[in-house]
Each structure stands twice: as C-alpha cells, then as structure tokens.
Amino acid sequence: MNYSFFGTCFNDHKQLFDCLGTILHQTISPKEIILVNSGDANIELEIGKMINKEKIKFIYLHKKLPRVESLNLALDKSTADYSFRFDTRTRFSKDYAEKALKVLKDKKLKNSVVGGVPLALSEGNKFESKVCAEIMNRSYLFFFPKHRNLDYSGYASSIYLGCFVTSILKEIKFNEKEALLSEDSLIINDFLEKGFKAYISSKIKLTYICRSSFLNLIRLFNTYGYCRFNSILVSKKLFISKRHFFVFLALVINFLVLIKFSTIYLIFLPLLLLLFNFYNEIIFDKKSSNLFVPIYGTLCQFSWIAGFLWGLMSSFRNKQIKSNFIS
C-alpha cells in the first residue's frame, strides 16, 4: 500500500520543517511528498536536501494560489494509491501512516476517509500559550463534536486532515469556492454524499502546535464562525451534522430573545454560557481543571458567534467571502 503526503505552506517555514521531520520518520516511508509553496521565499533546495537523504520522491511547486487551489494542485501530482494531507503545524506519530493504512484494510472501511484526533500542544512554556492549547483540547467549547474527542473511535461527519484513496479524492476534489478554513468538513461532507464513510480511530496519533497568542486564538475562532456560514453557502446544506442543527437552533433562539429582551439578555447570555463552560471544565478532569480555560473559552465562543454573524451580513451585501487568514 503505497502512499503520499501532500500539503501547502505560506511562509511558516520553521513549522513546515518540523512537520516534514515527522513525515520522514514514519515506520512505513511515503512514496512521495508533494508541497505547494504559496509564500514568498523559494525553499525548494533546503527541503529537497532534507527529503532526498531519505530517498523519497519530492515534488515542489512554488505558486501563489489560494489555500484550496494549492491543495488541489498538490493532489493532482500524486501518483500513490493513498494520499495523506499534512498541515505545517501538525506533528505525526511515527506509526501514523501505518495505523491509518491498517484501518483501511478493514473491508467495511474500504474507500473510506480515516484519521485521528489531534492533541493540541502549546508553542512555548508561557501561561498564555498553555491555556490556548487547553482551549483547543476541550471538546465542550466546540459543543462536543466527535472529531475533537481524543478517546473516540467510530464514524464521524468531519476529520482533521485524513487519509484518502487518491483516485476518489481526485474525482471529488476540494471545493475551490471555499477560500477559508473549513475545507476539512466540506471535503468529508462531499465524501459522505457520494456514499463513502469517514472513520476516526483513537489509535491514529497526531499533534497540533497551537497558536501561542490568545489574541490570535480569538481571531481563529472568529474565522471558524465565518467559515461555518461560508460552508453553508458552498455546500447548500444548513446542517452537516446533528450538532450543527442544535448550534443553529441555539443561535436562532438567542437572536429572538435578544430582540425581545436586549439589555438584560446581553448580560444573561454570557453568564449562562460561562456557567455551562465552568461546569464542563470541572467534569472534564477534576484533577487538572484550569479555571482560566472556561473564561477565555467563553470569549472564543463569542468570537465564533461574531464571525458567523459577520458571514451572514456579508452574504446579504453580496460580498464574496475571502480571507487572508492562513492556518
């Protein structure tokens, strides 16, 4: 079972080199690594030397393209049976590819998309950086999606990065109408609509290097909310999962109550959400609970809501949704 790793980068070269280091030390070596560099500096020689030492085929393209177009360009170059997507901030366990390919051998999961749930790690040792990572690891702050539960194994409606059958992924492709950060959920949604399955295994290990600045994390959540509305426009589906239905229902109820009791509600809603988060933080792990997580996490959630509403208002103004935000 031969496979390739494909991905894109945008000036985040240190993170890229660290990510590639984990790819080069897989227990089963990839047939090829494909990179589309959308940044300013040409780093082909530096990366080429690093990869060629391992006698792995390296395909490099330096083109300033939007994120999703870059992914499709990299995908088009793949000649392997299976394609693994990488992100510069991701670090893969040594047996990541081996475990994913093993899951795909199951007859029930033939032609499925498989992946693992990333554990968020802090970029440094500062308190702010550690809190940011803990926020990303709390599934309750995202309203309990399966693809953020580190202990979950089973079918899901979204997968981080993932391992694909190359021929099927080339047929479906990443939706180039989507210019932001929700291409993960959209491509999985397209797979599910074609009758394929998406499967998460807790044995497939990977980590994600979280942003060290709380301000950057707030911006990321804002972009997530913006992307959620944009993905509704692109997929023409209001709900990709039951979780999205309940989140949308909550937003509608909140909006109606806000119209009726605007002043009181602006105080009541944050307190209610904060209590919900405090409760879940204590339940999450009594020994390692961090009370700063629900406080900062609540701010992130409101940033998500603001991003969603921003996307809604932008659509009414007939503006094309774009972003310079690069993950």
pLDDT of 10-25, one tens digit each? 877 888 999 999 999 9
Query: Cα separation of 74 and 69, whole Å?
Result: 9
Two structure tokens written together for 248 = 């949308």
Question: Residue 216 half-sphere exposure, CB side, CA atoms within 13 Å?
Answer: 14
pLDDT digits (tens, 9 = 90+) for 100-125: 999 988 767 888 899 999 999 988 78
SS3 (DSSP) at 324: coil
Q: What is the pLDDT of residue 271?
A: 79
Two structure tokens written together for 57 = 């085929």
**Could you tell me which of 94, 76, 16 has the C-alpha nearest to residue 51?**
16
pLDDT over threshold 60, residue 54: yes
Kindly report the number of other CB atoms within 10 A of residue 178's CB atom: 22
Average pLDDT over residues 142-158: 87
Report CA-CA distances (Å) from 197 to 78, 148, 152, 158, 236.
Answer: 22, 18, 16, 10, 20
**Could you tell me which of 119, 124, 89, 67 has the C-alpha nearest to residue 18?**
89
Kindly report the number of other CB atoms within 10 A of residue 246's CB atom: 13
Query: Cα separation of 186 and 180, whole Å?
Result: 11
Q: Give 14 or 52, the one with higher predicted confidence.
A: 14
Query: Cα separation of 137 and 149, whole Å?
Result: 8
Name the band, by pLDDT with cuts 50, 70 and 90, for residue 325.
Answer: very low
SS3 (DSSP) at 9: strand
pLDDT over threshold 60, residue 157: yes
Provide CATH code, domain 3-213: 3.90.550.10
Mean pLDDT of the chain: 81
Phi, psi of 21 (to 5 degrees): -60, -40
pLDDT digits (tens, 9 = 90+) for 195-233: 888 999 999 999 999 877 889 899 988 888 887 777 776
Two structure tokens written together for 66 = 């939007």
Q: What is the pLDDT of residue 94?
A: 95
Rounded to the nearest 10°, the torsion over CA 90, 96, 101, 107 is: -90
- Is-contact 116 206, C-beta < 8 A? yes
Query: Cα separation of 262 and 264, whole Å?
Result: 6
- The CATH 3.90.550.10 domain(s) of the chain lie at 3-213
Question: Which amino acid is it at 28?
Answer: I
